[in-house]
Structure 1
Amino acid sequence: MKKIALEEHFLAPAFVEGFKQHMRDLPEKAMQNILTRLQDFGDQRLAAMDAASIERSFLSLTSPGVQAEPDTARAVRLAHETNDFLAEKIELHPTRFGGLAHLALQDPTAAADELERCVRQLGFRGAMINSHTNGHYLDEDQYTPFWERVQDLGVPVYLHPANSYQKMQLYEGHPELLGATWSWTVETATHALLLVFGGVFERFPKAQLILGHMGETLPYLLWRLDSRARLAGLPQGLTKLPSEYIKSNIVVTTTGVCADESLQCALAALGEDNVLFSVDYPFEESETASRWIEKAPLSDEVRAKVCHQNAERVLGL
């Protein structure tokens, strides 16, 4: 069955050294393999897509990108250059690749303008945000112009994990829990809940967020979120329970979670229209993800929704 993948990464030349530092704990051989695949826009990437029956991959700059840049002007310039770089690469295989904009949220208005440029001029279908920007989260009032533009353009924002801004004592002595194993999930799920409880989706009801990794545990927690909200009371200005905002404004992808139990939970909690296939290439293997979703206990109708139809709707294809 054909598939569309939404969390597929690349690396632009300006970010190679920063990425090496970010992933410095990787063994050298693994680092070189990932670097090679991140920077390939030809035979190697296309072969992986073909082997997994992925018709189209939507590419985004791997983290941390410009959001870790302390110089706002430089961040804005690099984001613009990165999006132009990606647009050039997409033109090599325009029917196979699509783009998600890379944005410098250090300047929310500039980020909104760049998103509009990417959508209207470059044909991108949304944005990828690597969680916080130097400790600032997207529920803050300064990001109102950004969310206004997101809603006006009708494109989704993919919220991708990042390291927490401050070192957390909780993980002291347990480096195995850092990153993709656990800490990124806590960071990203919390960021998404800031948007819910901070009223972003109340103010911008048509805004759409994408979460990877089968929803960063949120589908599993909907009942408890509602229960605690009923007990403590909703923050001023909210008119719906947390689960209602999550179901109406958040969709999830299967990146990095090839487990039937997790898939069934996400489908039951969020509905069959709100779960989308993705891989997280090259950090996960396309064939592994493809083999799993092809054999997962789904009806043909639901499998088609997960594999490509939901992505076609969310991205406006």
Structure 2
Amino acid sequence: MGGAEKGVPGTFMSGCTCRGIDVHCHVVPAHFPARANGLTVRGWPSMMAADACHATVVINDKPYRTVSDACWVAKRRLGDMDRTGIRVQALSPMPELFGYWIETNSACDLVRYVNDTIAAIVAEGEGRFVGLGGLPLQDVDLANLELHRIVGELGFRGVEIGSNINGVPIGDSRFQPFFAEAEKLNAAVFVHAVRPTGMERLLGPAPLQQVLGYPTDVGLAAASVITGGLLQKFPKLRIAFSHGGGTFASLLPRLEKGYSAFPALNEIMMESAAVQARRLYVDSLVFDADILRHLVAVFGEERVLLGTDYPFDFREKEPVARIEEAFADASLRERLTFANARAFLGLDEV
């Protein structure tokens, strides 16, 4: 992967004494280009100014989310990082910018534009940002072309993908050529919830998609990796799941019992779910010290990563303090705040 030249961190040059590495941080561009020849593309985003420091993402002529300029201004991020003990952020697209549901050629243009925006922020970041780009995974061949570009040309440390691609679970065999390339390129894969299943079962306002729908979909995505045999096919793949792996830690005992109870499940999994789970990474974004301790017990001390969902309002605002609340052991705190993410992202020196 990329070396330590400006904008492609390998050795971090900043004098910051913070130690945290945040693997779950999002970018939204300050604006989006119009489509060529004035074409209207369903799902293509635009930005509408809200005030001097905020703008609203508009999709299909409807407001989607109002965000702050911390989404695109490097200096804003750096100040917040210093205040919360974060040395490095891994920058990834806001999930609604994956574009899986957009016409393929337009989706490729959108993904490339967002990735180039991330690269520009990385270059402005004084060695304190790394990139996790998006891919047009509705077309795996085109996704692999963009994967090679962002790793080989932009120096990104990996990619962010959705928990499903237009309703298809990530463990489905059609995505194996992508995972093969990610493993080959030593690219980290961070799985984030997007357009979750089961929304019709939620009673209440739209934010319940993030509150309840996201962790449900992430849990099913992690389960699909296990039942789809992905880790057997790609044993060197580094894959992490947002929101603490969602519901997966609660689903795991049932998968483990099913592995012994149902011959058909035993046959497709080939290895116990509990053993496979300890090859996954999850972030720490669960908002609760007891659940955070449970994640460490389930996935292992080397598999939980600091994550915040910065810079959105529904985020962990004191991530290092949360880890310190949950764990007294200094060496474990160091792993959870720093060392595990360094290994996941493949960083040589921080």
TM-score normalised by structure 1 residue count? 0.88
Structure 2: 5+ residue runs without aligned partners?
1-17, 33-44, 48-55
2:236 is the counterpart of 1:219? no
The equivalent residue for 1:55 is 87
**Distance between the aligned counterparts of 2:57 and 2:107, measured in 1?**
16
The equivalent residue for 2:26 is 9
Q: Give, in angstroms, the shift of residue 93 of structure 1.
A: 1.5
Deviations 1:91-132 (A, max 9, x none): 112411110011100110111221122112211111111222
**Distance between the aligned counterparts of 2:268 and 2:235, measured in 1?**
13
Deviations 1:16-65 (A, max 9, x none): 4494449x788xxxx54x233223222x2111100011111011110211
Deviations 1:286-315 (A, max 9, x none): 642232223333300000000000111111
Contact 2:218 2:248 in 1 (8 A): no
| AA at the equivalent of 1:103 | L
Flag the 1:139–1:220 CA change in 2: closer, same or farther, 3 A.
Answer: closer
Normalized per residue, the structure richer in strand is: 2
**Distance between the aligned counterparts of 1:236 and 1:70, measured in 2?**
37
Candidates 299, 304, 315, aligned match of 1:275 = 304
Candidates 260, 279, 292, aligned match of 2:289 = 260
Q: Give, in angstroms, the shift of residue 196 of structure 1.
A: 1.2
Matched position secondary structure for 2:73: coil
Deviations 1:69-106 (A, max 9, x none): 33111111221222122112211124111100111001
The equivalent residue for 1:131 is 163
Matched position secondary structure for 1:64: helix
Structure 1: 5+ residue runs without aligned partners?
none
Flag the 1:155–1:186 CA change in 2: closer, same or farther, 3 A.
Answer: same
2:345 is the counterpart of 1:315? yes
How many equivalent residue pairs?
306
**Distance between the aligned counterparts of 1:295 and 1:46, measured in 2?**
24
**Distance between the aligned counterparts of 1:298 and 1:212, measured in 2?**
24
Q: Give, in angstroms, the shift of residue 279 of structure 1.
A: 1.1
**Distance between the aligned counterparts of 1:285 and 1:132, measured in 2?**
22
The equivalent residue for 1:186 is 216
Contact 2:188 2:344 in 1 (8 A): yes
Q: Percent identity?
A: 26
Deviations 1:135-173 (A, max 9, x none): 2332233212101101111222111011236x64422x4
For 1:276-291, list aligned pairs within 5 A.
276-283=305-312, 284=314, 287-291=317-321
| AA at the equivalent of 2:176 | T
Q: Give, in angstroms, the shift of residue 285 of structure 1.
A: 5.1
TM-score normalised by structure 2 residue count? 0.80
Flag the 1:106–1:266 CA change in 2: closer, same or farther, 3 A.
Answer: same
Contact 2:301 2:332 in 1 (8 A): yes
The equivalent residue for 2:276 is 245
Deviations 1:204-263 (A, max 9, x none): 122222112222132344322201221123254432011222212x101112x2321011
Normalized per residue, the structure richer in helix is: 1
| AA at the equivalent of 2:310 | Y
2:262 is the counterpart of 1:229? no
